[in-house]
Structure 1
């Protein structure tokens, strides 16, 4: 798949903006402040570029673009290790809202999400890791009030609202909860890549009809669609991180001398670099295929998103590991950026499914 002219313009703009506003050095500065919050300035720049509005329909002040454009942006964010709630709010939560039939809630939230004024987190699992079942988070119910513990919600610490996928008396129910509501508490959980998630505790939260996006099969279908978008676009981000890790490693092989010669002249290292390049190109192919399938509403889009995330996980982990090993001793230090990429890759590879889980899920979807 080749990008059209408009998509090339988005790519050029993303490369330019992130290189100037959110380089890896800016990420290091943020990390040195011992905070896991993203930069407000970077988020404002992202919003001004219109990226927060990519998947929002035009009628809600959005751009009505596709997963391809969102993937282009995510890929560049992966290259620059950009910390932002883009995937949680502008992808997962946005898709969940736009797919629902709650027009009042959509009209109230989507325009503000498109402008970047508010952020919305998305919780579809109650445990510390994604379980892939998408059956709803267990909760206790008393009348119209629910209580639940949600172990790992990405970007919840700065979200204005949280979309939560609950199992209410066995019925899948997708609800939107105000982060400042009485009975909701948040415990921040720092990640190894200096991003953050939170443990959310819902205590006797009242679920009013106006806050319900969907119930039953409709709720499950919405969550499956949102997660498919999340997997494919997160795969694009992983691809960007893998590309940059490989680029840094190859450049190092061209510069570092050992025994009086460039280590890039050693055939064994050339073979490893060639293998890494091949794996990344294979990942690129299926990631673009998945994004294109989502953009065109293909029936197999969800399965392709599963395959794309699995392959991107594997290729990115290989890029991070090879990068650290081929950089040698300096690759093990915090002073070199390659270790930062490995940490980001390791964290992102677990979100919305690790490789083993996704391969099993793909086999099931394929009828095996």
Structure 2
């Protein structure tokens, strides 16, 4: 399959870029950060996102979404990377929506609210400082006609403002996913202000009583559902990394074309030209790997999960290179808050940890090959 966007996907990309540049440029992130907004995210912007259709690319039309696919979700995620916009898109419209599509009729009602930008749903998986979905320790013990949940989750995207939580916990039958009302007794949430001014939370569940209707899918059947959501999430995270890296590169190119030193434009120095050319080729490779992963997910290929790991690892390393080069080519001013390149560096650092860094995915690929 050609590693290029279709005409319709290109139009979606242009629409998303235009909307975010007009309504949520980097100045939007700075405003939320500098005013110490208690939510760290704009509900009004999320509703506007829904009105534009950007909150429901993965949600079926019958449930109120656009009924598109992974490539389209990746296109929107890439646009968010360019503007560094704090948004519930990743946690709600990608991770949580993918899980909720396997739920019953009442649980699927959340999909329409997500697509409209009216609700934020957070997926609570990781429990330690590193992504480790195979080592979930949170417990779900049988209690009456339901379960009692105990455990602590970290790095829960938008968990402090979520209208609902999807919690992964170990039941006797195996990994199980639960839809939990954060207002229930025993649920404690604490916002984590990350270095890139985006949102996460630490969620503690202490004796939380839920009935059997809270189970998403089947008891003990959460592993496959979670794997699918995480694969799609990794590919979309790679898209955001590509967007952030590519935008940092464009900002740097503009600086090379306008900044003068020793009476010459610094872009005329051959050493900087070589570094820029190398970064350009690496970004193109990362874009290709990411699009290939998204296409593999849409096609339902067996190797889609591994393709997503390749994309996440490659995009992470390349975006890291892009922001490092951006700061260095800007010189000393690149380290100041006045210039945006430092914000891109912080965002890339956080995205690299999200759903596994390059080392995590390298090990995952090695184990899949029998090493």
TM-score, length-normalised on structure 2?
0.95
- Partner-residue secondary structure (3-state), 2:152: strand
Give the equivalent residue in structure 2 for 1:136: 136
After TM superposition, the structure 1 = structure 2 runs for residues 1-368 of structure 1, keeping only pairs within 5 Å, are: 1-35=3-37, 37-98=40-101, 100-106=102-108, 108-133=109-134, 135-139=135-139, 141=141, 143=143, 144-169=147-172, 171-215=174-218, 218-368=221-371
- Partner-residue secondary structure (3-state), 1:156: coil
Distance 1:366 1:102, change over 3 A: farther
Please list every run of 5 or more consecutive structure 2 residues that lacks an aligned counterpart in the other structure: none
- Partner-residue secondary structure (3-state), 1:111: helix
Kindly state the Cα deviation for residue 41 of structure 1 after the two structures are TM-superposed.
2.6
- Partner-residue secondary structure (3-state), 2:160: helix
- Partner-residue secondary structure (3-state), 1:157: coil
Q: Do the aligned partners of 1:123 and 1:164 also contact (CA within 8 Å) in 2? A: yes
Superposed CA RMSD in Å reads 1.5
| Deviation string, structure 1 residues 66-114 (Cα, Å, up to 9, x no partner) | 001111111111001111010100000000111x2523322x2212122
Kindly state the Cα deviation for residue 216 of structure 1 after the two structures are TM-superposed.
5.8
Distance 1:140 1:300, change over 3 A: closer
Kindly state the Cα deviation for residue 5 of structure 1 after the two structures are TM-superposed.
2.4
Report the Cα distance in structure 2 between the residues aligned to 1:190 and 1:350, rounded to whole angstroms. 15
Please list every run of 5 or more consecutive structure 1 residues that lacks an aligned counterpart in the other structure: none
Kindly state the Cα deviation for residue 125 of structure 1 after the two structures are TM-superposed.
1.5
Report the Cα distance in structure 2 between the residues aligned to 1:158 and 1:78, rounded to whole angstroms. 21
- Partner-residue secondary structure (3-state), 1:53: coil
Q: Do the aligned partners of 2:149 and 2:169 also contact (CA within 8 Å) in 1? A: no
Report the Cα distance in structure 2 between the residues aligned to 1:82 and 1:44, rounded to whole angstroms. 14
Kindly state the Cα deviation for residue 170 of structure 1 after the two structures are TM-superposed.
6.6
Q: Greater CA deviation, 166-175 or 229-238?
A: 166-175
Structure 1 segments (4+ residues) deviating >4 Å: none
Q: Do the aligned partners of 2:124 and 2:156 also contact (CA within 8 Å) in 1? A: yes
Q: Do the aligned partners of 1:172 and 1:215 also contact (CA within 8 Å) in 2? A: no
Q: Do the aligned partners of 1:56 and 1:64 also contact (CA within 8 Å) in 2? A: yes
Q: Greater CA deviation, 164-173 or 320-329?
A: 164-173
Distance 1:120 1:137, change over 3 A: farther
TM-score, length-normalised on structure 1?
0.95
Kindly state the Cα deviation for residue 338 of structure 1 after the two structures are TM-superposed.
0.5
Aligned pairs, number: 365
Q: Do the aligned partners of 2:176 and 2:220 also contact (CA within 8 Å) in 1? A: no
| Deviation string, structure 1 residues 306-334 (Cα, Å, up to 9, x no partner) | 11000010011111111111100110101
Report the Cα distance in structure 1 between the residues aligned to 2:158 and 2:242, rounded to whole angstroms. 21
Report the Cα distance in structure 2 between the residues aligned to 1:6 and 1:262, rounded to whole angstroms. 39
Q: Greater CA deviation, 216-225 or 84-93?
A: 216-225
